[in-house]
Amino acid sequence: MTVTSDPEGNRRRSVLVDADGGLMLFRVSGVPVLLAPSWWLGSLLVIVLYAPLVERLLPGAGAGLSWLLAAAFAVLLGVSVFAHELGHTLVALRLGIPVRRLRLFLLGGLSEVARTPRRPGQEGLVAVAGPVVSLILAAGCGLLLLTVPPGATWLLVAQCAVANLAVAVFNLLPGLPLDGGRMLRAGVWALTGARGKGTTAAVIGGWLVAAALLVWALWGLADGSQDRWLRLGVCLVTGWFVATGASAELSAEHRRSWPIGLELRELMLPVLQLPAESPVSDALAAAAGRGVVLVRADGVAAGLLDSALAERLAADSPASPAELAAEPVRADSVLLLSEPGEEIAERVRETPAWQFLVVDDDGRPAGVLRREDLRVAISARRTG
């Protein structure tokens, strides 16, 4: 599924463990691959529910062999999910879309792109890459079955073929956060020109998929199917993931959307350019109701004046250069006045900065946008 210096000791730990507890395995094209703690729980669930099924499918297999095959299947399933997500990651990177990390978690995985695809075609290509990889793996395992004699190995290969086919087919279901939901969103987006409409359609699809999983699990219980307990466990976990993921996608779309009629110029503070060596007390006084760009003698912007930091600095040393209280102007904190509103909202949401420099098409400062001002304006337009 589809959808930045520590002490030495901390640096060593950060190589192994991500901030949210994921275990760092390795990197692919610079993208960290993480194993979330829930992956172990999911694998244990697969082993416990799959081992009894092995005994029925492979008459004569003892408990030891059944548990060994179940454990091997859980590992191979994790590798298959990794390959699926790697397909998303490599295509996204190929299209110039940064990927923060690839995470494997409870019965699934996620390629976390750093920004939303700008065009529906990009979203569709990234989404379809994972199922294509899974189908290739399923076909490869199917061909391998022709060379493997019946027995434990044959069963393991057969189950891998079925699992990859199931991963591909399941992810093609038309509901977010599944790949099929992203493809549906891309299609509606391309037809209507509105990404929000595509998200709404795909979220509804996600809720329907979750409901269908619950019905299928209950049907298995009522019918006394041999795999009813495995089906119930997988469907409950997967259905919960799909339902919560669809709701999260809808919330993210609301945060990303730009209210009709809202103009960026309404939110910008007037911009004032001051020499970076100006006394911080003078810069602070000039900043009342304005955004201040501090410029060095060579014409390069030193940053935007951070009023909170400037107040603290002015209290102790009012003659200090204002540059010491500047927030650096980075590429991701510069907004183009002519950018579409939705892209501005998304950039502000994803960039760790509290104020942004807005420039015109010629690169001249046009104003300063504060994160809080944008948040309040969007909230007011939605509730008004």
Query: C-alpha 142: how far from its chain's center?
Result: 32
CA 271, CA 293: separation in Å to the nearest integer? 7
CA 227, CA 232: separation in Å to the nearest integer? 8
Q: Could you tell me the two tokens for 116? A: 């939303």
Look at the alpha carbons of 71, 73, 79, 84 in this order and tell me if their dihedral is positive or negative.
negative
CA 169, CA 245: separation in Å to the nearest integer? 18
174 close to 205: Cβ distance less than 8 angstroms: yes
Number of other residues whose CB lies within 10 A of the CB of residue 25: 14
CA 244, CA 242: separation in Å to the nearest integer? 6
58-77: burial string, b at 16+ Cβ within 10 Å, e else:
beebeeeebbbbbbbbbebb
CA 148, CA 159: separation in Å to the nearest integer? 13
Tell me the catalytic residues. 85
210-232: burial string, b at 16+ Cβ within 10 Å, e else:
beebbeebeebeeeeeeebbbbb
